[in-house]
């Protein structure tokens, strides 16, 4: 049953958020279950918080799929997992020259952060050597921030990445703790928490987010936002499931665009000062309502994702310009 909250109450939630107060489970549910007629005032309230911390600036991030496939994990959403039959490219870790070329492409797209992502449970020491070598040269030659997403790190690996100049490490929670075993069985939710805490301990900025649309309840979505607030993730990518044929979740439906906007507003209100990024699946879930997402979010992935295509970069730049927003160059 949809919950109706007045404009005044949305404004009150925004003020409380700015004062450092945390929404309750019930208030979070009110956001997600609001009547669609309330979406514009809700987004206005979220924008009040977003504008306080980020003005009208938008951070751009670009991913390179540095190693594709050959993953022993059984994540139900992923085309690269051992249980997926999706017809994707499979290759070992890209060489330094290719990683450097990707960094130049990120610069051309006005991305401030370049995200090096590799499939697998975690990097071998040889793979880490390759990433470290590329990161050092990027840091010496380009004004880019580097985010690495390499899986669960062994002892000493987080320290090496930090010493090489990696600014941020991504390790998503993906879903709620209760829902986690239905999505992945080859590692645990708690292992993901431990990895994020490890990278924080070595001074890297923690990036951790979610994938919406994997059978979770509205209460679990609120719990995800509260978990990321507790984890103190600096950057929170909000993915909306792109149900890829050949994966266990291939039959899952898309998240309605209005629901997706409510989710983004919720995360902004619960994690007011954090970078909220509209991430994978935005094109097929938000569709024509993508511009509205930036009233809550202050960050986008541009270009392609791991094994799925993104929107044309010119369309993203045009969308930001048409909103009267501004790309924040070289932003972490």
Is residue 271 part of the annotated active site? The answer reads: no
Helix orientation angle between 157-164 and 189-201, rounded to the nearest 10 degrees: 50
Q: List, as one string, the DSSP characters of 72-106.
A: ----TT-TTSTT-------B-PPPHHHHHHHHHHH
What is residue 38's DSSP assignment? G
Task: Tell me if 277 is assigned to a ligand binding site.
Answer: yes
**In 3-state terms, what secondary structure has residue 140?**
helix
Task: Tell me if 271 is assigned to a ligand binding site.
Answer: no
Task: Tell me if 147 is assigned to a ligand binding site.
Answer: yes
Element containing residue 230 per DSSP (H, E): helix 218-231
**In 3-state terms, what secondary structure has residue 42?**
helix
Is residue 149 part of the annotated active site? The answer reads: no
Is residue 75 part of the annotated active site? The answer reads: yes
Nearest to 30 by CA among 50, 47, 13: 13
Task: Tell me if 115 is assigned to a ligand binding site.
Answer: yes
Is residue 115 part of the annotated active site? The answer reads: yes
* Residue of 50, 78, 109, 168 marked active site: 78
* 34-50 burial code (b ≥16 CB/10 A, e <16): beeebbebbbebbbbbb
Sign of the Cα pseudo-torsion (155, 61, 281, 219, in order): positive
**In 3-state terms, what secondary structure has residue 180?**
helix
Is residue 78 part of the annotated active site? The answer reads: yes
* Residue of 50, 168, 277, 282 marked active site: 277
* Residue of 75, 149, 168, 268 marked active site: 75
* Residue of 50, 109, 147, 268 marked active site: 147
Is residue 22 part of the annotated active site? The answer reads: no
Is residue 277 part of the annotated active site? The answer reads: yes
* Residue of 115, 268, 271, 282 marked active site: 115
* Residue of 50, 149, 168, 207 marked active site: 207
* Residue of 50, 71, 192, 282 marked active site: 71
Task: Tell me if 78 is assigned to a ligand binding site.
Answer: yes
CA distances from 55 to 80, 177, 263, 269, 323 (A): 37, 33, 20, 16, 13
- Which residues are catalytically annotated? 71, 75, 78, 115, 147, 207, 277
Extract the annotated binding site. Answer: 71, 75, 78, 115, 147, 207, 277
Extract the annotated binding site for [2Fe-2S] cluster. Answer: 115, 147, 207, 277
Extract the annotated binding site for [4Fe-4S] cluster. Answer: 71, 75, 78
């Amino acid at each position: 049953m949809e919950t109706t909250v007045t404009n005044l109450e949305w404004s009150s939630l925004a003020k409380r958020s700015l004062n450092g107060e945390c929404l309750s489970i019930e208030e979070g549910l009110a956001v997600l279950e609001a009547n669609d007629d309330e979406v514009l005032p809700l987004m206005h309230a979220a924008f009040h918080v977003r504008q306080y911390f980020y003005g009208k600036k938008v951070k751009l991030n670009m991913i390179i799929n540095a190693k594709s496939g050959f993953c022993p994990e059984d994540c139900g959403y992923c085309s690269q997992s051992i249980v997926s039959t999706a017809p994707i490219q499979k290759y070992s870790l890209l060489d330094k020259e290719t990683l450097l070329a990707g960094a130049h492409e990120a610069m051309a797209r006005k991305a401030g952060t370049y995200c090096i992502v590799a499939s697998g449970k975690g990097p071998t020491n040889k793979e880490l050597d390759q990433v470290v070598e590329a990161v050092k040269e990027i840091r010496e030659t380009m004004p880019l921030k580097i985010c690495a997403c390499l899986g669960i790190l062994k002892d000493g690996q987080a320290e090496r990445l930090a010493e090489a100049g990696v600014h941020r490490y991504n390790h998503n929670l993906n879903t709620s703790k209760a829902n986690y075993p239905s999505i992945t069985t080859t590692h645990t939710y708690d292992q993901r928490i431990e990895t994020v805490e490890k990278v924080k301990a070595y001074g890297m900025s923690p990036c951790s987010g979610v994938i919406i649309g994997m059978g979770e309840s509205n209460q679990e979505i609120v719990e995800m936002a509260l978990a990321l607030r507790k984890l103190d993730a600096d950057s929170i990518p909000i993915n909306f499931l792109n149900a890829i044929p050949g994966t266990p979740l291939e039959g899952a439906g898309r998240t309605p665009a209005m629901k997706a906007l409510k989710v983004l507003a919720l995360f902004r209100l619960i994690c007011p000062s954090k970078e909220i990024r509209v991430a994978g699946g935005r094109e097929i879930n938000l569709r024509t309502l993508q511009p509205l997402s930036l009233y809550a979010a202050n960050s986008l992935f541009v270009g392609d994702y791991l094994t799925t295509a993104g929107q044309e970069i010119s369309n993203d730049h045009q969308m930001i310009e048409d909103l009267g927003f501004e790309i924040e160059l070289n932003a972490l």
